[in-house]
Structure 1
Amino acid sequence: MKGNRDIEVLIVEDDLRIAEIQKRFLDLMDGFQPVGIAASYVEAKTLIEVLQPDLILLDVYFPDMDGLDLLKETKLQTKQMDVIMITAAKEIDKVQAAIRLGVFDYIIKPVVFERFKQSLQRFQDYHRKLIKLNEENSQISQQEIDKLLWKENDSTTNERVYLPKGIDPLTLEKVLEVLSKVKTGLTAEIVAKEVGVSRTTARRYLEHLVAIEKIEADLSYGTVGRPERVYFLADKIFDKLAE
């Protein structure tokens, strides 16, 4: 286990534009150091061997390989490194295979920064706990294992620990409560008035909920002016489409 330093991240992505976006996302976060970008199987194998990163951000689809095969090879090695899949692959068999192979997280493209940030912050917390436990003990208790795997008894408390900076859990609950009272969906302006916050603040909370797939958003085209985003609880979007 490596010492107290930035988490080294290798990006394995054949679309260099997407790889650069992921690198910029990492640059916006404290505690992470992008150490390389691999766009092919040969590059990925070489950089993994040479750099031995703490974390790999891995796609599934490549011209010369299946990212899941690389994941399998990586997991068979003795090196201590984790993998977050970032991919357009939505097939249940690929998701299931990735989970069985022990990925830390699975993110569907296009990547929203808040979802990306949430995943990386969870990994950062896990990584720090693991280092601390490794330094203090040769064996750990069941309670420590549960905390390491985020299996706290209170799932609500656990969710709150990983809320992004600037997102208050009580305000988030109020926003969800306002949305639960209507079937037609609400704009950020209406939600702001109901909750008692600014429109900008309401939009930040709403977009966070969209990012974690608790709600969905659609465009409303009025008779005058630009279209507005309208927000719905995830299970109510289907009611709207059925009307």
Structure 2
Amino acid sequence: MTSAIEVLIVEDDVRIAEIHRRFLDKVGGFQMTAIANSGQEAKDYLDVLKPQLVLLDVYLPDMKGMDLIWYIRQYHKEMDIIMITAAGEGEMIREALRGGVVDYLIKPVMFQRFAQTLGRYREQMRLTDRTRLNQAELDRWLWRAESEEKRSAEVFPKGIDPVTLGKVLRTVTSMSGKGVTTEEVAVKVGVSRTTARRYLEFLVSSGRLKADLSYGSVGRPERKYMIKS
């Protein structure tokens, strides 16, 4: 999937809707198609715009968000839903999960949690765009998603953002088994060399990566990072 994922925001509070729109812009890879402030307006946008993803509030002025979930499941089965709501009741959450929501975020939503959910969704779309997956490939994604979710609960030191940390770790994982340099990671992730080095050294200190010195024919030895086996 190379084009941006189209998103409909369904939220009756204009200020919160604008916050979510800005969050989407910061995450990247997503394009807001419209903001619906009521259930009926949402239905109209769903029928006409046909977004891939709906960010849905439970409390709407003219209907319950749960009713809109079942409307989407009946008429737009191909659309995905992420709930973003102040409703934290167990019964409400269970019904939303039965309706097949991708994730359930409880307000007020911090950007870190929002970005994690959208990033996982984007990766899932890229993975499932492939014609066929085998069990090993699917398990790697599911288990990696689970491990990332567990890591999000960790307390990170100042200067370490979990979203950037995940990008750095995935970059090292996906690149050469012989190890990658700070500069290579910085270019791939889109951060400065100083920032890349800080994250790489944190991953070394936490036991997720190992580092070694690579001696070239000329110049100083270079520190390379790789997944710890």
TM-score (norm 1): 0.60
What is the aligned partner in structure 2 of residue 82 from structure 1? 80
What is the aligned partner in structure 1 of residue 35 from structure 2? 37
> Are residues 141 and 95 of structure 1, via their aligned partners in 2, closer, same or farther at CA, if it must alter by over 3 Å?
same
State the alpha-carbon separation in 2 of the partners of residues 19 and 8 from structure 1.
Answer: 15
What is the aligned partner in structure 1 of residue 211 from structure 2? none
State the alpha-carbon separation in 1 of the partners of residues 167 and 119 from structure 2.
Answer: 17
**Residue correspondence of structure 1 range 1-243 to structure 2 within 5 A:** 4-131=2-129, 133=130, 137=131, 139-147=132-140, 150-151=142-143, 155-156=146-147, 163-166=162-165
Query: Considering only aligned residues, what root-mean-square deviation do their CA atoms show, in Å?
Result: 2.9
CA drift of 1:140 comes to 3.5
Q: Percent identity?
A: 45
> Are residues 113 and 77 of structure 1, via their aligned partners in 2, closer, same or farther at CA, if it must alter by over 3 Å?
same
State the alpha-carbon separation in 2 of the partners of residues 167 and 144 from structure 1.
Answer: 19
The answer (yes or no) to whether the contact 2:86–2:106 under 8 Å persists in 1 is yes
| Aligned structure 1 segments of 4 or more residues deviating by more than 3 angstroms | 144-148, 154-163, 166-170
For residue 140 of structure 1, what is the amino acid of its counterpart?
L
The answer (yes or no) to whether the contact 1:71–1:101 under 8 Å persists in 2 is yes
CA drift of 1:110 comes to 0.5
Q: Which runs of 5+ in 1 are unaligned?
A: 171-200, 206-243
Q: Which runs of 5+ in 2 are unaligned?
A: 153-160, 170-197, 203-229
For residue 41 of structure 2, what is the amino acid of its counterpart?
E
What is the aligned partner in structure 2 of residue 188 from structure 1? none
The answer (yes or no) to whether the contact 1:52–1:79 under 8 Å persists in 2 is no
CA drift of 1:143 comes to 2.8
The answer (yes or no) to whether the contact 2:6–2:33 under 8 Å persists in 1 is yes
State the alpha-carbon separation in 2 of the partners of residues 4 and 125 from structure 1.
Answer: 11
State the alpha-carbon separation in 1 of the partners of residues 164 and 150 from structure 2.
Answer: 13
State the alpha-carbon separation in 1 of the partners of residues 21 and 54 from structure 2.
Answer: 12
TM-score (norm 2): 0.63
State the alpha-carbon separation in 2 of the partners of residues 155 and 128 from structure 1.
Answer: 17
Equivalent pairs counted in the alignment come to: 163
For residue 82 of structure 1, what is the amino acid of its counterpart?
D
